[in-house]
Amino acid sequence: MPAETPFTYNEIVTQPAAWAEAVTVVRAQAGALKALRLADYRQLLFTGCGSTYYLALAAAALTQSLTGHIARALPASELLLYPDGAYPGAGGVSLLISVSRSGTTTETLRAVEAFRRQRRGQVITVSNYPEAPLASMGDLNLVIPAGREASVAQTRSFASMYVACVALAAVLAGDEVQLNALAGLQPVGERLLRDYAGLAQEWGADDRLDQFFFLGSGPRYGLACEASLKMKEMTLSVSEPFHFLEFRHGPMSMITPQTAVVGLLSEAARKHEEAVLHQMRELGGRILSLAESGADVAFHSGLPETARGVLYLPVLQLMAYYRAVKRGLDPDRPHNLSKVIELDL
């Protein structure tokens, strides 16, 4: 690890402990969460900005799958600027789940304030800094201090808050099996970071690659978006996310021998997703697959598919880190970015 870029690397490799804290935090609030009657809400609405919007996409898809209730995700700016497209009409009440690493992002704070002022429902906040404004704005506030970061690009924070949202969904669904399974994430994450650090460095340091596509469907689409954003932020590389089968509808025209196609494979749709990767390989692309088994990065976690989404992240975060270092960039301080976006709204 280069001495001049300590934060990002350290935050990636220590994140499994933050996952464990996230589960503990949600368990401590389980009673209050179980008191919420999902039938009282027209929708569960997840929101965030940047990375946490992608977290919201992943969490909403998973939450609807587990609970059977409508769950959506929108950027906080959309809630603030276009509320008519976000909220149900007359008398419709929402449960807003607002996610922010810093708890100080302007769009997120203003969106929650407007939601409160307009009496649209109840609010759950998820963040990493207990002293931040957002951490006291909800009816229920989930704070994971172990996810705090010194670097700009979110890695440990994103993963910790995502695990909290998975645990939240399990509690809302009354799924104790799912909630208990999350306790098994930490040792698996630590093993993946050890076993696949070399692969992450090999792919990250490969100068032949000049563009990256991250494919994921269902709850994995939001995770693919986040993995792509890390590659873009840290390495200034061309990087885009797509749903697996959507990639055939135009984007595959970009495939060359210098293209990396990274597939976040599922169990339920694996046959169809692997067919996409096989086709991209035939077109000359380089393929990296992640899955529970039978993949370039194999989790071998033994956990339910709905519990193991966070396991896709660490190796891909490391890959972006090593590519940044190889290109002479500072992953702690990405070009043109700041840790918190504060606006005059």
Q: Which of 182, 213, 244 is the last residue of a domain?
A: 182
Look at residue 2 in the predicted model and tell me its pLDDT. Answer: 46
The distance from CA 282 to its chain's CA centroid, rounded to whole angstroms, is 30
Token pair in block for residue 105? 């992002």
Read off the pLDDT of each residue in 299-310 and give the average, rounded to a whole number.
98
- Is the model's pLDDT at 244 over the cut of 50? yes
Q: To the nearest whole number, what is the mean pLDDT of the chain?
A: 95
Q: Do 200 and 280 fall into the same domain? A: yes
Q: Do 88 and 174 fall into the same domain? A: yes
Q: Do 127 and 217 fall into the same domain? A: no
Look at residue 80 in the predicted model and tell me its pLDDT. Answer: 94
> Sign of dihedral through CA atoms 16, 149, 340, 136?
positive
- Is the model's pLDDT at 20 over the cut of 60? yes
Q: Which domain holds residue 13?
A: 6-182
pLDDT digits (tens, 9 = 90+) for 151-191: 989 999 999 999 999 999 999 999 999 999 999 999 999 99
Look at residue 343 in the predicted model and tell me its pLDDT. Answer: 53
Look at residue 269 in the predicted model and tell me its pLDDT. Answer: 97
- What residue has token string 């998973």? 62
Look at residue 337 in the predicted model and tell me its pLDDT. Answer: 55
Is residue 331 in some structural domain?
no
Lowest pLDDT segment from 51-55, 192-196, 198-202, 328-332: 328-332
Q: CATH code at 322?
A: 3.40.50.10490
Confidence of residue 339 (pLDDT cuts 50, 70, 90): low
- Is the model's pLDDT at 23 over the cut of 80? yes
Contact 165, 99 (CB under 8 A): yes
Q: Which of 182, 213, 247 is the last residue of a domain?
A: 182
Look at residue 89 in the predicted model and tell me its pLDDT. Answer: 82
Confidence of residue 338 (pLDDT cuts 50, 70, 90): low
Token pair in block for residue 168? 């939240």
Contact 214, 239 (CB under 8 A): yes
Confidence of residue 1 (pLDDT cuts 50, 70, 90): very low
pLDDT above 70 covers a percentage of the chain that reads 95
Q: Do 19 and 120 fall into the same domain? A: yes
Look at residue 345 in the predicted model and tell me its pLDDT. Answer: 66
How far apart are the C-alpha atoms of 27 and 22, rounded to whole Å? 9
Is residue 337 in some structural domain?
no
Hey, is 288 helix, strand or coil? strand
Q: Do 194 and 321 fall into the same domain? A: yes
How large is the angle between the packed helices 51-67 and 156-173, nearest 10 degrees?
Answer: 20
Q: Do 29 and 84 fall into the same domain? A: yes
pLDDT digits (tens, 9 = 90+) for 266-286: 999 999 999 999 999 999 999
Is residue 157 in some structural domain?
yes
* Tally of domains in the chain: 2
The distance from CA 225 to its chain's CA centroid, rounded to whole angstroms, is 8
Q: Do 166 and 194 fall into the same domain? A: no
Q: Which of 159, 182, 205 is the last residue of a domain?
A: 182
How far apart are the C-alpha atoms of 254 and 198, rounded to whole Å? 28
Q: Do 208 and 254 fall into the same domain? A: yes
CB-side neighbour CA atoms (13 Å) of 291: 19
Q: What's at 150, amino acid-wise?
A: A
Look at residue 108 in the predicted model and tell me its pLDDT. Answer: 96
pLDDT digits (tens, 9 = 90+) for 71-119: 999 999 999 999 999 999 877 899 999 999 999 999 999 999 999 999 9
Q: Do 144 and 163 fall into the same domain? A: yes
- Is the model's pLDDT at 56 over the cut of 80? yes
What is the SS3 assignment for 100-131? ECCCCCHHHHHHHHHHHHCCCEEEEEEECCCC
Rg of the Cα trace of the chain? 19
Read off the pLDDT of each residue in 220-246 and give the average, rounded to a whole number.
97
Look at residue 5 in the predicted model and tell me its pLDDT. Answer: 52
- Is the model's pLDDT at 39 over the cut of 70? yes
Q: Do 171 and 209 fall into the same domain? A: no
How far apart are the C-alpha atoms of 263 and 274, rounded to whole Å? 8
Q: How many CB atoms lie within 10 A of CB 44?
A: 26
Q: Do 129 and 212 fall into the same domain? A: no
Give DSSP secondary structure letters for 168-196.
Answer: HHHHHHT-HHHHHHGGGHHHHHHHHHHHT
Q: How many CB atoms lie within 10 A of CB 335?
A: 11
Q: Do 28 and 149 fall into the same domain? A: yes
Contact 155, 8 (CB under 8 A): yes
